[in-house]
Structure 1
Amino acid sequence: MKRRVLSLLLVIVMILMLLPGCQTKETGPAGGNANENTEAKVEKKILKYNMAEDPRTLDPQLNSSIKAGDIINNIYEGLMREVDGKYVPGIAESYEVSDDGLTYTFHLRDAKWSDGQPITAHDFVYSWKRAADPTTASDYANLMYYIAGGYEFFNGEGSSEDVKVKALDDKTLEVTLAAPTPFFLELTAFYTFMPVRQDVVEKDPEGWAKNPELIVTNGPFKLAEYKMGDMAVLAKNENYWNADNVKLDEIVCYIIVEESTSLTAYESGDLDIITNIPLQEVPEIMVNNPEFHITQRNGTSFYVFNVKKPPLDDIRVRKALTLAIDRKLIVDNVTKGGEMPAVGFVPPVAGMKDTRGNVFREMAPDYGIAIDSSKVDEAKRLLAEAGYPDGKGFPEIDISYNTSESNKAIVEAIQEMWKKNLNIHATLTNQEWSVFANNRRNGNFYVARHNWIGDYADPVTFLDLYNSDGGNTSSQWVSKEYNELMNKIKTENDPIKRDEALYAAEKMLFDEQLFMPIFHHTDKMLVKDYVKDWKKTTALGNWYFGTTDIVK
């Protein structure tokens, strides 16, 4: 494995400069050494983790990023928390569900915010209604549709008072759902349902969530420092209700985007955990490094088409581009991490079942996409029908992706397949994450990299992405019929009818060919052997360090 000495030295210097507690020795008062406290700092248990991406926001109601979610999942806590695939009490000490499955009553434990103020049921009422408020522009506002009145409030057909979540007293929260929702408890562990405090948000609505001087949190850690583009430092929250069992003193979350630099820092001991591993290094690391871990993930990697931009406004073009891709070649020769070629949207994980308990992917079709090859002849026929025989006259289109060596390798493979199989040329544009995310959100692209990780164990978590009532769709496609179908799924009590709607929804996405699926995800990570009891077990694959220890 090649090593660059200069790169190594630069990484070491950068990280040492950023690491809290690394200061120049000084002579203190009366001849004392001001560095006497340094030993105490060195003895602290500090986890050094590379999150690899500068978060757009740390506001639970506004976040839709997995990487930012790693921080949010450690500085906030919902009514429930997911640990080892199970949902355990978080801020809610207990709960009851009515016989009809519509009313949940949560009893909050005696818990405090990081500034010592008590957490109350009113904090949850404010936060959930804030998420449903159309002026908040939450990407996940549609999750509030499960609550009676949530849909009406967001769509201007009702008011905040109509959203059926209320505080019976400071420690009792009552929620009435629009329809029985078997996974509602899972939702209460998700970012959007985590509480924020109204007085803090209103002090600086745009900047409070990244400001250590303003933000208050209720999880095992609190935001102690944030340097844009460099790092975030999380410190143990002494006011957390379970603080006695939190072993880490600090987590330093570095923002090192370049994967080779991240790996060099890990191998030199300057990082304890990384997940952005260069694709070309994975096969060797997988065999030779016992600190390498790989797990299946509830996610799909795909490329979204902007259906409003010619020639992508022609469904035949979109289908041709999709059929020209050899997914097995990509996972075998590019990603090399145990990924599964994708022929649908909802991934084939065991927990992703329909209403009647069937694994969704096993019951759904492949929509004409070959799992182990491309379909070049059919792709050429469709392109010719669209007016571009053998690619002649096809305008140059652009594929956008966020900066990453792995993303670059995948998009270059797609570019080459389109050139070889269809005789068309695509330019490649890489952008820093926040710029890329905004451009994709606003439709400033032709074809753009995308991936989706399930938020909870129901196919709706994927299918709802194209519900234009939500805030995460990027294709610029709006379908009233599809929105109504998704709303039917959320309110249908008959399991047979609900399942019919689930499968019809995925079929509609492929009938319109809004995106081309590439593969279903795995998680690949390197974790030092002295890091104990680490968790990466939420439905989203977020890190949870509330039980983690460092034992050297």
Structure 2
Amino acid sequence: MSSRKIALTELALAALTLTAYSQKQSSQNEQELNWSVGGEITTMDPSKATDVVSFSQMINSMEGLYRNSKDGQSPGLATSARVSKDGLTYTFSLRKSKWNDGTPVTAKDFVYSWRRTVNPKTEAEYSYLFSGIKNADAIQNGKKPVSSLGIKAVGKYKLVVTLEKRMAYFKDLMAFPVFFPQEEKAVKKYGDKYGTASKYMAYNGPFVQKGWSGSNLSWKLVKNPDYWDKKHVKLDQISFTVNKTATTAYNLYQSKKIDALGLDSNLTKQFKGKSNYYGLANGGTYYLELNEKNPNLANSNIRKAISLAINRENLIRILGGSNQAADTYTAKGLTEYDGKDYTSMISSAAKDLYKYRPSKAKEYWQKGLSELGKSSLTLNLLTSDSDGGKKTGEALQSMLETRLPGLKLTVTSVPFKTRLARRESGQFQICGSDWIADFGDPISFLELLTSKNGSNYGSWKSSRYDKLIAASKNTNDQQERLKDMSEAESVLLEDAGVIPLYYEDDAWLIRSSAKGWICKRSEWNFKEAYVAK
């Protein structure tokens, strides 16, 4: 989940925490958790959200055709799915369910939501995920009306989706919030306020959100009495607060006021391998995004020099957790074929640019400066103001200024929400970013960097890359798809279109009393979570 959109290391260094109500003195039968997150909610509008904090809220307070579960997908609102022989038509039967205002959720709510998201006027960053659904591209390019999108309601509880081509990952997309239904009545009632606070939203999931004003740092999810599967929802309430350091969380953990926390480097060393320690791979990569509208960063030799001057092993030691040095953009462990990880298919020559080679970095740097007609450069790195974001900025500033003569790197650390806004509006030179796959396929990463993708904030472009990605989406032969994608990623890496730093693996300490939670690609699902008494 454009930067799905949060520097997840920053989240990992923040405290993600669960607190059992058994620690309180009253209402012994209640089931409550407290969850501390490292960043603010940006929006509750499924058409507009781009970050993991917001998506986690939606996964727990809303529901689409399917839900991501521990072993794959479980039924959401879809009771069955029928696929035509040519693989181009999906017919979903829907169960009866309600919005929190008592109105039935129907197939028309899906039609309305999808049309709203692909409508160019909505400016939805995730609208590109609809590519492959009939007329989605033409609609987004202003060539066809929104009503021509390949989705229709047949009665109240049957939904038919028509594709332009087979999509190997189509069903995987259906558990992602951008494909959730939306209540048209609520969207029209709240207008510009829709999704900007808890009260300006409609919910149909296991919980209903309360108390988020749009800017405050605390809110709650309360069990939804109208949820169709409420018998499997054990928690009465989850309280959320935003914290930006792991130190505060660990102090709370020691005093038994919280049940879980994300570990920093020192705590990881202390607890790794011990009881209640969890290493949670999130399918994400932390990387540097370079704005090529800046003429200095449009120079590929300057970009390559920056990459080769970074000691990734030292960086992850500073940051801690269970992160691993990265030499690809797509996260390792996301996709396997014939027993091999997808990333093993990427050119070794491309990967060499993501090793620590200071002498080679200096060569590229001097060559780039010569091409620019300069003897020095001043660049700025944008990060979030979390503990992890600040540590990343300090470490990179030291490494790059030491290894690249004539470079002055300033660091700007701002609140997460501000960083997202600046990044999305192109107000940055170098930005510490991350991406977590929306689903288990490399295309979830690689599509972002195609020339016309709205999430390509660095404006890197390659016609060969675009052609290879397009080819990968026009075949259902998995071997051929992976070949095209790995060739495309090799093109990207050989030009240092982005600079991968590490694969994100979150380290957690969670008390044994917190049960039933699911963490998948750093999105937390509390539908069946509970507190063991």
If the length of structure 2 is used for normalisation, what is the TM-score? 0.90
Structure 2 counterpart of 1:244: 231
1:178 is displaced (CA, Å) by: 1.7
- Matching of residues 248-397 of structure 1 within 5 Å: 248-275=235-262, 277-286=263-272, 290-331=275-316, 333-349=317-333, 351-353=334-336, 359-370=341-352, 373-387=355-369, 393-397=375-379
Structure 2 counterpart of 1:453: 436
2:154 aligns to what SS in structure 1?
strand
Structure 2 counterpart of 1:426: 409
1:483 is displaced (CA, Å) by: 4.1
Distance in 1 separating the partners of 2:253 and 2:352: 38
Amino acid at match of 2:323: E
- Matching of residues 46-445 of structure 1 within 5 Å: 46-227=32-213, 228-275=215-262, 277-286=263-272, 290-331=275-316, 333-349=317-333, 351-353=334-336, 359-370=341-352, 373-387=355-369, 393-423=375-405, 424-445=407-428
Q: Say if 2:526 is the partner of 1:545.
A: yes
Q: 2:116 touches 2:122 (CA, 8 Å); kept in 1?
A: yes
2:519 aligns to what SS in structure 1?
coil
Distance in 2 separating the partners of 1:542 and 1:495: 27
In terms of Rg, which structure is larger? Answer: 1
Q: 1:443 touches 1:476 (CA, 8 Å); kept in 2?
A: no
Gap change, CA 1:366 and 1:253, over 3 Å in 2: farther
Structure 2 counterpart of 1:9: none
2:147 aligns to what SS in structure 1?
helix
Amino acid at match of 2:148: D
1:166 aligns to what SS in structure 2?
strand
Gap change, CA 1:148 and 1:44, over 3 Å in 2: same
If the length of structure 1 is used for normalisation, what is the TM-score? 0.87
Kindly provide the CA deviation profile for residues 179-234 of structure 1, in whole angstroms up to 9, marking residues without a partner as x. 11122111000011011111101122332224333322111001122143321211
1:309 is displaced (CA, Å) by: 1.1
1:400 is displaced (CA, Å) by: 0.9
- Matching of residues 7-18 of structure 1 within 5 Å: none
Distance in 2 separating the partners of 1:378 and 1:147: 46
- Matching of residues 480-519 of structure 1 within 5 Å: 482-493=465-476, 495=478, 497-519=480-502
Distance in 2 separating the partners of 1:510 and 1:213: 45
Amino acid at match of 1:365: S
Gap change, CA 1:214 and 1:67, over 3 Å in 2: closer
Q: Taking every aligned residue pair, what percent have the same amino acid on both sides?
A: 27
1:352 is displaced (CA, Å) by: 1.3
Gap change, CA 1:410 and 1:474, over 3 Å in 2: same
Q: 2:381 touches 2:428 (CA, 8 Å); kept in 1?
A: yes
Moved more, 481-490 or 162-171: 481-490
1:440 aligns to what SS in structure 2?
helix
1:362 aligns to what SS in structure 2?
helix
Structure 2 counterpart of 1:10: none
Structure 2 counterpart of 1:531: 514
Kindly provide the CA deviation profile for residues 77-100 of structure 1, in whole angstroms up to 9, marking residues without a partner as x. 110111013111110011111111
1:487 aligns to what SS in structure 2?
helix
Gap change, CA 1:114 and 1:366, over 3 Å in 2: farther
Amino acid at match of 2:403: N
Structure 2 counterpart of 1:463: 446
Q: 1:178 touches 1:491 (CA, 8 Å); kept in 2?
A: no
Moved more, 334-343 or 477-486: 477-486
2:122 aligns to what SS in structure 1?
coil
Amino acid at match of 1:305: L
Gap change, CA 1:94 and 1:449, over 3 Å in 2: same
Distance in 1 separating the partners of 2:273 and 2:324: 20
Gap change, CA 1:211 and 1:517, over 3 Å in 2: closer
Kindly provide the CA deviation profile for residues 389-420 of structure 1, in whole angstroms up to 9, marking residues without a partner as x. 9x982122111101121222233222222122
Q: 2:280 touches 2:519 (CA, 8 Å); kept in 1?
A: no
Gap change, CA 1:501 and 1:371, over 3 Å in 2: closer
Q: 1:220 touches 1:236 (CA, 8 Å); kept in 2?
A: yes
Gap change, CA 1:494 and 1:550, over 3 Å in 2: closer
Distance in 2 separating the partners of 1:372 and 1:440: 23
1:386 aligns to what SS in structure 2?
helix
The one of the two structures with greater contact order (alpha-carbon pairs below 8 A, sep at least 6) is 2
Q: 1:49 touches 1:274 (CA, 8 Å); kept in 2?
A: no
Moved more, 164-173 or 397-406: 397-406
Distance in 2 separating the partners of 1:190 and 1:124: 13
1:369 is displaced (CA, Å) by: 4.0
Q: 1:48 touches 1:273 (CA, 8 Å); kept in 2?
A: no
1:135 is displaced (CA, Å) by: 1.1
Distance in 2 separating the partners of 1:456 and 1:194: 15
Distance in 2 separating the partners of 1:131 and 1:53: 25
1:139 is displaced (CA, Å) by: 1.4
Distance in 2 separating the partners of 1:68 and 1:279: 26
Gap change, CA 1:481 and 1:374, over 3 Å in 2: closer
Distance in 2 separating the partners of 1:529 and 1:381: 53
Moved more, 263-272 or 187-196: 263-272
Q: 1:259 touches 1:404 (CA, 8 Å); kept in 2?
A: no
Q: 1:273 touches 1:525 (CA, 8 Å); kept in 2?
A: yes
Q: 1:343 touches 1:367 (CA, 8 Å); kept in 2?
A: no
Gap change, CA 1:434 and 1:504, over 3 Å in 2: same
Q: 2:289 touches 2:499 (CA, 8 Å); kept in 1?
A: yes
2:458 aligns to what SS in structure 1?
coil
Gap change, CA 1:186 and 1:510, over 3 Å in 2: same
Computed over aligned residues only, the root mean square deviation of the Cα atoms, in angstroms, reads: 2.5
